[in-house]
């Protein structure tokens, strides 16, 4: 008789265990879907807030590249009464200041592209310094400007501001 009660008890317990397992699996699946949905909502909200900042960062870095291009910065800053050394100082100082002003943009720019930006900036500064040092001490800003523009037009193998701008555009298109 006790065997009979044990089997009767198993008949009642096994379906209840099965129901509990199904309820557990359902709740677990539902919670996972809810967590995924909440994470997607948070990500979408984050992107809604961050995307405008990212686009603005790309715009600012394109503008930075345009502003430090020798064909842009030389006419903008050239003063005929300066010596080549003074003009070199003004050019390198302006590029450094612009770069410092835009440092926070690296939060939104991919690392590889930011490295390209830094390298292009460094190469332009190095080119200005080397060109100024190659001129006689009596040279004026016009001499430095002419030599820089001639050499930059003829230079190859250096990272140009154009190629950095193209990399920025590609990164932006991937983003949006």
Q: How many CB atoms lie within 10 A of CB 61?
A: 25
pLDDT tens, residue by residue, 74-128: 999 999 899 999 999 999 999 999 999 999 999 999 999 999 999 999 999 999 9
Domain that holds residue 136: 2-175
How many structural domains is the chain composed of?
Answer: 1
The tokens for 21 are 């397992």
Report percent pLDDT > 70 for the chain. 96
Average pLDDT, rounded, for the chain: 91
**Residue 38's pLDDT is what?**
93
pLDDT tens, residue by residue, 9-65: 878 888 889 999 999 999 999 999 999 999 999 888 888 888 999 999 999 999 999
Residue 34 CA to residue 41 CA, distance in Å, equals: 10
**Residue 62's pLDDT is what?**
97
Residue 67 CA to residue 73 CA, distance in Å, equals: 6
Q: Report the predicted TM-score, pTM, of the whole model to 2 decimal places.
A: 0.76
Nearest Cα residue to 61 out of 21, 25, 110:
110
- CA torsion 26→30→33→38, rounded to 10°? -160
């Amino acid at each position: 008789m006790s065997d009979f009660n044990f089997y009767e008890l198993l008949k009642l317990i096994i379906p209840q265990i099965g129901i509990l397992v199904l309820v557990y699996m359902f709740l677990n699946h539902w919670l996972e879907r809810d967590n995924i949905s909440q994470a997607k909502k948070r990500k979408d909200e984050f992107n809604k807030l961050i995307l405008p900042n990212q686009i603005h960062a790309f715009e600012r870095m394109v503008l930075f590249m345009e502003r430090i291009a020798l064909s842009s910065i030389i006419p903008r800053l050239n003063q005929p009464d300066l010596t080549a050394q003074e003009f070199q100082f003004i050019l390198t100082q302006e590029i450094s200041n612009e770069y410092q002003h835009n440092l926070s943009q690296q939060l939104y720019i991919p690392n590889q592209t930011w490295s390209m930006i830094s390298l292009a900036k460094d190469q332009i500064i190095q080119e200005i310094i080397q060109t100024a040092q190659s001129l006689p001490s009596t040279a004026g800003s016009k001499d430095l400007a002419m030599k820089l523009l001639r050499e930059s037009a003829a230079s190859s193998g250096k990272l140009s501001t154009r190629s950095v701008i193209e990399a920025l555009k590609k990164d932006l298109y991937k983003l949006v």
